[in-house]
Amino acid sequence: MSAHAPAPVLTPAATYARDVRVTWWYTAASVMVLHVFAVFMWAFVVVLRGTPLDIVLALVGAAGSVASGVLLLVRYRREPLDDGDDSARRSVGPLVLLGVASAVLLGVGTGSLLVVAALVSQALCTVRWRGGMRVRLVALTLVVVVAVWVIEATRWGPDGYISLTFALPLFAAMLAPLTATSLWWWDIVRELDRARRAEGRLAAAQERLRLASDLHDLQGHHLQVVALQLELAEKMMGRDPDAAVEQVRAARASVDEARRGTRDLAARFRGVPLPDELANAADLLRAAGLTVDLLVDTEAARAPADVLGPVVRESTTNVLKHGGGVSASLSLARHEGSWVLTVDNDARGAASPVGDGAGLSGIADRVGSVGGTMDAARLGDRFRLTVRVPEEVMA
């Protein structure tokens, strides 16, 4: 890439997938804030009133409980949405056991069975269960936590217990339902994002099918006409050569008409707005398993799509063919009177080396014909393609 990199502006459409990741961070942060607050409050009471042994048990249990919660959330984020993956639930078992053991330690340190029940319930609700299982689990754990709460309140004396420590047990009782609700919301957002991706791929497939249908109708008609004209010319060749020549000329005219129709059809197909072209390329790369960052200037619709659109498609193909299959980034921005398209991808473990192949030469010829430039370079473990096209080129 050239020395001065542009500063792309992120559009709402381009940041959709990133917004989904932000939603996850909000969800995970809210769950952990509830978890840490509950653990901190219980441990704080022990630190103020407990013996040294109780303090050690409470602090170790608190640290283990928080670590278990973080690891369970990381695992939850990586698990597929499908219900049929039992291996993922089996592999999460040690993390749940860590949460249970930590809850027991904290409960022993605090002398409260309620904290054990609340934290164990939350750990169980952080596992991705089969459809409907989590609702029943939340209802069951809520009943258990409330029952333990009532038992402890009765043992300690209802009046003093309710007046002094009502808020904390109530918070502990709501820990599992609030966690399950937050993760349920995240599952909905993730499912909607997956549906959006599928809709994009379906729209692209439908567009290709429409193009194939139009091309078939166009070429089929002209080829049938050409075949009839040539057949008639062959029959008339012996008895009326002049008429046969006219039929051959008519066939040639039909071929020219077919070529023009095909060119016009291809031009209509290429007429996809450049922001949509970039979004489709990002979706394709994500579908192939890559992590993709997409940065698009707010005025990208004014960029020359007829020049940069084929470049986006060719560079996407190059990433799939030569890239390492881990990460990529696409950006389009205006910089010093030019539109700058940058495609950067991970080149580690690439299936084949990246060189000056026909694809890159074609890109250079295409942008060079309108006064643009192309730079392609390998920078460490990354390969970067930078294309500059003057703003004056008509979109």
Walking along the chain (395 residues) 10 residues at a time, the average pLDDT comes out as: 40 46 85 87 79 88 90 84 55 85 87 85 85 81 83 61 56 84 86 77 73 77 82 84 85 83 68 80 80 87 84 85 79 88 80 55 85 86 89 66
Amino acid at 293: D
| Residue 172 and residue 207 in one domain | no
Give the pLDDT score at 198.
77
Instruction: Answer whether residue 241 is part of any domain.
Output: yes
| Residue 208 and residue 188 in one domain | no
Per-residue b or e along 314-352, where b marks 16 or more CB atoms closer than 10 Å to that residue's CB: bbbebbbebbbbebbbbbbbbbeebbbbbbbbbbeebee
Range of the domain at 279: 274-390
How far apart (Å, rounded) are the C-alpha atoms in residues 155 and 147?
A: 12
| Residue 328 and residue 255 in one domain | no
Give the pLDDT score at 269.
60
What is the domain-level CATH number for residue 357? 3.30.565.10
Give the pLDDT score at 325.
67
Contact 275, 365 (CB under 8 A): no
| Residue 201 and residue 314 in one domain | no
| Residue 57 and residue 205 in one domain | no
How far apart (Å, rounded) are the C-alpha atoms in residues 158 and 152?
A: 9
Instruction: Answer whether residue 105 is part of any domain.
Output: yes
How far apart (Å, rounded) are the C-alpha atoms in residues 15 and 7?
A: 16
Instruction: Answer whether residue 1 is part of any domain.
Output: no
| Residue 182 and residue 296 in one domain | no
Would the pTM of this model clear 0.75, i.e. be above it?
Answer: no
Give the pLDDT score at 209.
78
| Residue 190 and residue 211 in one domain | no
| Residue 141 and residue 178 in one domain | yes
Instruction: Answer whether residue 9 is part of any domain.
Output: no
Give the pLDDT score at 358.
57
Give the pLDDT score at 342.
92
Structure tokens at 109: 């340190």
| Residue 142 and residue 63 in one domain | yes
**Residues present in the chain in total:** 395
Give the pLDDT score at 1.
39
| DSSP string covering 19-85 | HHHHHHHHHHHHHHHHHHHHHHHHHHHHHHHS-HHHHHHHHHHHHHHHHHHHHHHHHHHHS-S-TT-
| Residue 229 and residue 255 in one domain | yes
What sign does the dihedral 192-193-194-196 (CA atoms) show?
positive
| Residue 215 and residue 336 in one domain | no
User: What domain count does the chain have?
Assistant: 3
Give the pLDDT score at 2.
40
How far apart (Å, rounded) are the C-alpha atoms in residues 103 and 38?
A: 12
**Domain C-terminal end among 167, 194, 221:** 194
Instruction: Answer whether residue 290 is part of any domain.
Output: yes
Q: What is the distance between the terminal CA atoms of the chain, rounded to a whole angstrom? A: 24
| Residue 34 and residue 159 in one domain | yes
Contact 223, 258 (CB under 8 A): yes
How far apart (Å, rounded) are the C-alpha atoms in residues 355 and 60?
A: 56
How far apart (Å, rounded) are the C-alpha atoms in residues 234 and 225?
A: 14
Contact 77, 183 (CB under 8 A): no
CB < 8 Å & 24+ apart, contacts of 71-79: 71/95, 71/98, 72/96, 72/99, 72/123, 72/126, 72/127, 73/28, 73/31, 73/32, 73/126, 76/126, 76/127, 76/128, 76/183, 77/24, 77/28, 79/128
